[in-house]
Chain A
Amino acid sequence: MTTTTTSLDTTALARDGRRPTPPPKSYWAESWDRLRHNRFGMAAGAVILSFGLVGLCAPLISTYLTHYDPNRQVLLDQFDGVSARHLLGTDELGRDTLTRLIYGARVSYLIGFLTVGLSLTIGSTVGIVAGFYGGLVDRVLGRAVDMLLAVPTFYLLVLIAATHPFGLTTNQPVPLAVVLALLGWGGTSRLVRGEVLSVKQRDFILATRSVGATGLRLMFRHILPNVAAVMIIVASLGVGGVILAEAGLDFIGLGIVPPTPTWGNMLNNAQSYFYHSTLLVLAPGLMIFVAVLGFNLFGNAIRDALDPRLR
C-alpha cells in the first residue's frame, strides 16, 4: 500500500546520493535485525542454547550416549582419567563426571531462569506501582528496596539457610530460586521505576487517562509494554549473575547439596581430591565460566539491540 510513497522517497533520496529508506519496521523487528547481525552475540546465544538443550535432554544423553546414571557408583573406577569409557573421567565414588556435568546444567538453568523470572515479576510490579502512584506509595516501597539493598546478600543468605523462614530451604532448586528472587528484585524495581517515571509523562498516558482508563489498566496495558525493553535487558543480563551466585552457594555448602549433581557442589567435592584428579577441579568450573560468559555476552547483545543508545 505504501508503494507510491516509497518509490517517491527513493527517487528523491537517490538524487541526494543517499541510501533509499527501507520500509518502516516495528521497534521489535528492528531490534531483532540488530541482534541478528551481531555475530558475536548470536554465537554466545548459540552456546547457551546448546548448553540448555544438552541439559534438557540429560536423561536421554545419559541413557544412550554416556551410558551412566549420574549417581551410579562404581568403586573400582575411582578417579579414572580421560578414557573411552569415561570421557571426562570419574570422581572418588567412580561416578561419571561428564554425565554429572550434564545434569548440573539442568540445575543451573532451572535456577537461573526461575530466579530471574520471579525477581523480574516482583521487581517490575513494585517498580511500576511505585513509579505510577508516586508520593507516599513510592516512598514506602523505595524504603523497602533500600532495606533489601542494605543487607549484604551473602549474610542474608546465610541467615535464611540458618533459619528457614516460611519453610524456605536453600538446598532444593525451586525454594532456592524463590529465596534468590526475594533477595534480588531491588535493582530491577529501581530501574523499572525510573523508566515508568519518564513514560508516565508522555501525552498518550494523559489521553488514555482522559478517556477514563483506570489505574490498573494504565499500568499494565499501557505503561508495561513501554518498559518491556528495560525489563528484557535486565532479565537477560541477570541470568549469568544468578548462575554464578548459585554455584557459589552450592560450593560453600549452603545451596543444592549432593547427591544432586551441580557444578558448584562438584567443585566443593573436588577440593578434597586435588592430588587425585585435576580434571575434577577444572571441568565444573569451566562449565560455570562458559555458561556465565555466554549469558553475559548474549545479554550485552540484547541490550545493544534493544537500546543502541546504551552501547
Chain B
Amino acid sequence: MDSLPVLLGVSVITFALVQATIGSYVPGLELNRDLKPEDIVRLRHAIGLDQPWWFQYLNWLGVAWIVKTAGLGGLLGGYSVNTGLLEGDLGRSIIDGTSITSNILARLGYTLELTLTAICIGVLIAIPLGVVGALRRGSVVDQAFTVASSAGIAVPAFWTGLVTILLFAVLFHEWNLPALPTGGAESPLGGGDPLDRLAHLALPATVLSFGYLAIWSRYVRSGMLEVLGQDYVRTARAKGMTDRRVVYVHALRNAIVPLVTLIGLELPGLFSGSAIIEIVFSWPGLGRYALSAVQAHDITVVLALTVFGSSLVVIGNLLADVLYAVLDPRIRYA
C-alpha cells in the first residue's frame, strides 16, 4: 500500500498550486467590474472561497466532517461541509458550477473507446509484423520494418493526424472520393448508428495505434528471436512438427509475454495518452475537456482531472504489477 501516501502527496501539491492562483478569485468579476464589496463577499462565500485554505483542502478531500467530530465545531464558523474526493465527488467547475464527476463520466467512455480500439489495432498488427521480422531476420523486409519503427517513434502523432486529415478528408474530397469524417465521435445530425461511429473512430484510432505499433512490434520481434533459439522449439521441430505449428503455437505463446506486460504498463496511458489526438480530431474525451478547461481558466476542472489521472496511473501500475505476477510466477511481490 505504498500508493496511498503518493496520492496524498499529489493531492497536497496540486491543491497548493491551485490555491496560490485562486486565492483572490471573484466569480463573475470579469463580467461586472462594479461588483459591490458585499456582493463579492457573498459570491466568494457561495463557492467556499472565504474558507481558510486548510478547511478548503479537507472539504475538497471530503473529510471536513472530521473537524466537527473532533469537537472543534467552533472552528467551522458557519462554513458548509460538503462531499469530496473520497466519496467520488471531484468538486464543481468554478466557471459554470457543473459537477466535474458527471462531466468526466460523460467523456470517459469516449476516451476509452478511442484508446482501447487503438490498442487492439496495435496488438493485431504488431504481432504479425514482429513475427515476420524475426523469421526473416536481416532480410529487406526486416530492415524496412526496423526503419519504419524508428520513424514511427520519431513522428509527432498530432502531425500524422493532420496529414491523414489532409489526405482522407481534404484531398479525397477534392478527388471526389468518399471522404472520412475528421471531427467528433458521431455526426451532429442523424448520426450515432454503429457505421457512423465506426467511420468517426477510424482515423483517430488508427493514428493513435501507430505509436503503440512502432514499439510493440519490436518487442514481439526480439521476444520471438529469443524463443526460437530455445531447446523446446528445437524439440518440437525434431518431433517433426510443421514449421507453421512450431512458430505459431509453440513459440508465439512465449514470445508475446513481454508484450502483455507492455500493454499492462500502457493502462495508465488509457486515460491521458490520447489527449493530443483527441484535440486534433475534436474527439469529445478527457484530453479535450482538459484543454477547453485550461482555455476557459476553469482551474477546479484542471485540478480534478490531474488528481483523477494520477489515481488512474497508480491503479494502473498496481494492475500491471498483478498482471505481471500472474503471467510470470517467478515474480513475487512481498
List the interface of chain A (C-beta within 8 A of B): 143-144, 146-147, 149-156, 158-165, 240, 244, 247-248, 251-254, 267, 270-271, 274-275, 278, 281-282, 284-285, 288-289, 292-293, 296-297
Task: Give bound CA distance, A240 to B279, whole Å.
Answer: 22
A-B contact sample (5 more), CB < 8 A, given A147-B13, A163-B18: A146-B2, A163-B17, A254-B291, A289-B154, A289-B155
Q: Which residue of A lies closest to B13 (CB)?
A: A147
Q: Is B98 an interface residue (CB 8 A)?
A: no
Question: What are 29 pairs between A and B in contact, CB < 8 Å?
Answer: A143-B5, A143-B6, A147-B6, A150-B314, A151-B310, A151-B313, A152-B271, A152-B310, A154-B275, A155-B290, A156-B306, A158-B305, A159-B17, A160-B17, A162-B299, A163-B17, A164-B21, A244-B154, A248-B156, A267-B159, A267-B162, A271-B162, A274-B166, A281-B163, A281-B166, A282-B166, A288-B156, A292-B154, A292-B156
Q: Which residue of B lies closest to A288 (CB)?
A: B156
Chain B residues with Cβ below 8 Å from A247 are 156
Are A267 and B158 in contact, CB atoms less than 8 angstroms apart?
yes
Q: Is B10 an interface residue (CB 8 A)?
A: yes
Are A289 and B6 in contact, CB atoms less than 8 angstroms apart?
no
List the interface of chain B (C-beta within 8 A of A): 2-3, 5-7, 9-10, 13-14, 17-18, 20-21, 150-151, 153-156, 158-159, 162-163, 165-166, 169-170, 268, 271-272, 275-276, 279, 287, 290-291, 293-295, 297, 299, 302-303, 305-306, 309-310, 313-314, 317
Are B275 and A285 in contact, CB atoms less than 8 angstroms apart?
no
Q: Is the interface of A mostly helix, strand, loop or mixed?
A: helix
Chain B residues with Cβ below 8 Å from A254 are 291, 294
Are B156 and A155 in contact, CB atoms less than 8 angstroms apart?
no
Are A275 and B170 in contact, CB atoms less than 8 angstroms apart?
yes
Chain B residues with Cβ below 8 Å from A143 are 5-6, 9
Chain B residues with Cβ below 8 Å from A150 are 3, 6-7, 10, 310, 313-314, 317
Are A293 and B272 in contact, CB atoms less than 8 angstroms apart?
no
Task: Give bound CA distance, A76 to B152, whole Å.
Answer: 39
Chain B residues with Cβ below 8 Å from A244 are 154, 156
Nearest 9 A/B pairs, CB to CB: A285-B159, A293-B154, A152-B272, A292-B154, A152-B309, A155-B306, A163-B21, A155-B309, A151-B310
Knowing A155-B272, A282-B163, A289-B159 touch, does A162 contact B21 (C-beta < 8 A)? yes
Task: Give bound CA distance, A156 to B303, whole Å.
Answer: 9
Chain A residues with Cβ below 8 Å from B310 are 150-152, 155
Task: Give bound CA distance, A293 to B297, whole Å.
Answer: 36
Task: Give bound CA distance, A190 to B123, whole Å.
Answer: 29
User: B227 to nearest A CB, angstroms?
Assistant: 20
Are B156 and A159 in contact, CB atoms less than 8 angstroms apart?
no
Are A151 and B162 in contact, CB atoms less than 8 angstroms apart?
no
Chain B residues with Cβ below 8 Å from A152 are 268, 271-272, 306, 309-310, 313
User: A257 to nearest B CB, angstroms?
Assistant: 12
Chain A residues with Cβ below 8 Å from B169 are 274
Chain B residues with Cβ below 8 Å from A151 are 10, 14, 306, 309-310, 313
User: B220 to nearest A CB, angstroms?
Assistant: 19
Are A270 and B162 in contact, CB atoms less than 8 angstroms apart?
yes
8 Å CB contact of B20 from A154, A155, A165? A165
Task: Give bound CA distance, A267 to B272, whole Å.
Answer: 21
Knowing A152-B310, A247-B156, A252-B279 touch, does A159 contact B303 (C-beta < 8 A)? yes
Task: Give bound CA distance, A1 to B20, whole Å.
Answer: 68
